[in-house]
Structure 1
Amino acid sequence: MIVVGGGVAGLTTAVLLAESGRRVRVWAREPAERTTSAVAGGLWWPYRIEPEALVGAWALESLTVYEELARRPQETGVRLVDGVQAGIRLDGLGDWAGRVPGLREVPDGLAARLPVIDMPVYLAWLRERLAKAGGVVEAREVTDLASVPARVVVNCTGIGARSLVPDPEVRPVRGQLVVVENPGITTWFGCVDHSSASTYFIPQPYGLLLGGTAQEDDWSLEPEPATAAAIVARCAEIRPEIAGARVLTHRVGLRPARSAVRLERQPLPDGRVLVHNYGHGGAGITVAWGCAREAAGLAFPAA
């Protein structure tokens, strides 16, 4: 079987399938370090993803996995870090929130100790785990899903699904980030909504990651200097020491937004099977393991 797409959704799905005994190849147009997954902030939190009724279960299943992986942070890149989501209360979230260990109301919002994932390290670890299970990653560009030569094909192409499927419901939500030298901040902070700008910072081993933006239907991958300056200024309003931090790099990624995640089994006319697993918006990492397990079940339903 072949999984198309080498980001976090594709690699996670491939790992589960390979560890269940399937012979798995991943066809990826770009290496994992050049995917949207690689530039993500890495904080576990359901953001810009629907439908909420299903997202909660996918996210909680993934949370359990990340909590286990956080026992080996040097190996996996996953750590548990304290922080606050400002401006929200428990009654503004779905039922899933009541099942997040330690999530509690504080004067500013909600506090919790949540997984923070160093994505370059984590993606490399996923590839290694896949290789140990016998899976392989191949650099291949797919232009027609129906022509992929496997009895079972899993489509995890993220933003690429817009043209590949084609699915015009998939739209980019541009996210720009700034990485600065960490002035000593050890907790994460988020104040996000569905406007085009938000404020968050996440401590990572390589620096302090500052965000962000949510610019709908914007395909530009070039960092905008004015946007970067505004991001730093917003974060510095929360922690003034950020204002003087040296900028290390800029990042831009395109979240694959959709009205709802597409997790669906599609029989092909010749008897083969195509499984879709895309449209995860701003929460691909957050729901990766839950969605991958469902996709694997769709690919090979239990008798």
Structure 2
Amino acid sequence: MSSDARGDVIVVGGGVVGLTTAVVLAERGLGVRVWTREPAERTTSAVAGALWWPYRIEPQQAARRWALRSLDVYERLAASPEVTGVRLVEGVMGETDADAAAWAAGRLHGLRAATPEEYAGPVGLWARLPLVDMAAHLPYLRDRLRAAGGLVEERAVSALAEVDAPVVVNCTGLGARELVPDASVRPVRGQLVVVENPGIRTWVVSQDAGGAMAYVFPHPGRLVLGGTSEEDSWSRTPDPSQAEAIVRRCAALRPEIAGARVLEHRVGLRPVRDAVRLERATLPDGRVLVHNYGHGGAGVTVAWGCAEEAAGLTASS
């Protein structure tokens, strides 16, 4: 594959996984275009609360490897948060102890048990993790891709075989269900509530005995509150009763949230699969096809690790 050809690779899918994969490829000197059905601001990635931590992703060992590689990148990007949207923020991972985080303990600074004052649940882990403002990060990735000579084109794809490039990388997330087709990719619906920030600076993630989630993520000028995890639900319409329950659960963790003004309601569909599909295949005419989809609720967490592995697969013989 010629590194000076300007049509080497087309990445299908313009969410965080697709854009990150395109950046890695373009910065290796390849001619890269991203074909996306809708702009990044309307993808599932744009809805993400985007705390770095593997969630709803398998296989676990590979996901942790991809996450740690991505952590290396996010820690560097956090040096310029106003540009990249990445900040290192402290908070509590509820219902998590040191054993559950042992896989990352050597890489996370200040990891320790949360005090009762920091978290009222039975057990919690205090950590300093990347928290990514997707409203800034997705444009950053797009700008970085363009700086490396890549292009983003809004273009719907009905079949991977119709994509005209020597190498096609499939980063379509939930869209892979119809496009591949792969019926094993299914939605897990997540609803969020965005409110004004009454001064909260730390994040918290919690889960009650019934499995209901609550999380509070402070982003510039706002708080993102969650959430839900509804299997096989395709509805993108916010449910008012769920929104009320989300605010109630989050206010139980941070009482000052109770009076915060609601700015926005969001819904995203996580592309969950029994295992991430990250592998090389071939199109009917023999061209290279690389799949990189099925990241569940961890697309941001593993984006760079998966992108680098996908890029390696495009070049293998």
Q: TM-score range by the shorter chain?
A: over 0.9
Letter in 2 for 1:64: D
2: CA distance, partners of 1:141 / 1:150: 15
**Residue of structure 2 equivalent to 1:240:** 255
Residue ranges of structure 2 left out of the alignment (5+ in a row): 1-8, 116-122
- Conservation of the 8 A alpha-carbon contact between 2:13 and 2:172: yes
Q: For 2:164, which of 143, 146, 149 is the aligned residue?
A: 149
**Residue of structure 2 equivalent to 1:136:** 151
- Conservation of the 8 A alpha-carbon contact between 2:108 and 2:128: no
**Residue of structure 2 equivalent to 1:250:** 265
Cα displacement string for residues 147-182 of structure 1 (whole angstroms, at most 9, x for unaligned residues): 211110000000101111110110100000000111
Mapping for residues 200-239 of structure 1, pairs under 5 Å:
200-239=215-254
2: CA distance, partners of 1:245 / 1:270: 57
**Residue of structure 2 equivalent to 1:184:** 199
2: CA distance, partners of 1:184 / 1:64: 29
Cα displacement string for residues 243-274 of structure 1 (whole angstroms, at most 9, x for unaligned residues): 11110100000000000100010023422010
Cα displacement string for residues 57-94 of structure 1 (whole angstroms, at most 9, x for unaligned residues): 10001011011000001111111111000111122346
- Conservation of the 8 A alpha-carbon contact between 1:48 and 1:194: no
Q: For 2:94, which of 68, 86, 90 is the aligned residue?
A: 86
| CA shift for structure 1 position 109 | 1.0
Letter in 2 for 1:149: D
2: CA distance, partners of 1:207 / 1:85: 20
Letter in 1 for 2:53: W
- Conservation of the 8 A alpha-carbon contact between 2:190 and 2:270: yes
* RMSD, aligned α-carbons: 1.5
**Residue of structure 1 equivalent to 2:120:** none
Moved more, 154-163 or 190-199: 190-199
- Conservation of the 8 A alpha-carbon contact between 1:195 and 1:214: no
1: CA distance, partners of 2:194 / 2:310: 34
2: CA distance, partners of 1:224 / 1:190: 21
2: CA distance, partners of 1:48 / 1:201: 18
**Residue of structure 1 equivalent to 2:182:** 167
| CA shift for structure 1 position 125 | 0.5
**Residue of structure 1 equivalent to 2:47:** 39
Moved more, 188-197 or 70-79: 188-197
| CA shift for structure 1 position 97 | 4.4
Identity %: 67
2: CA distance, partners of 1:196 / 1:214: 9
Over 6 Å off, 4+ runs: 193-196
- Report the 3-state secondary structure (helix = DSSP H, G, I; strand = E; otherwise coil) of the residue aligned with 1:30: coil
Check 1:135–1:195 CA distance in 2 against 1; reply closer, same or farther (3 A cut). Answer: farther
- Conservation of the 8 A alpha-carbon contact between 1:57 and 1:96: no
- Conservation of the 8 A alpha-carbon contact between 1:179 and 1:248: yes
**Residue of structure 2 equivalent to 1:57:** 65
1: CA distance, partners of 2:209 / 2:56: 8
1: CA distance, partners of 2:209 / 2:165: 40
**Residue of structure 1 equivalent to 2:4:** none
Cα displacement string for residues 207-244 of structure 1 (whole angstroms, at most 9, x for unaligned residues): 01100000010000000000000000001111111111
- Conservation of the 8 A alpha-carbon contact between 1:196 and 1:216: no
Correspondence 1:272 to 2:287: yes
- TM-score by length of structure 1 reads 0.96
- TM-score by length of structure 2 reads 0.92
Moved more, 285-294 or 190-199: 190-199
1: CA distance, partners of 2:246 / 2:70: 29
Equivalences, count: 302
Correspondence 1:7 to 2:15: yes
Letter in 1 for 2:312: G
2: CA distance, partners of 1:192 / 1:169: 27
| CA shift for structure 1 position 129 | 0.3
Residue ranges of structure 1 left out of the alignment (5+ in a row): none
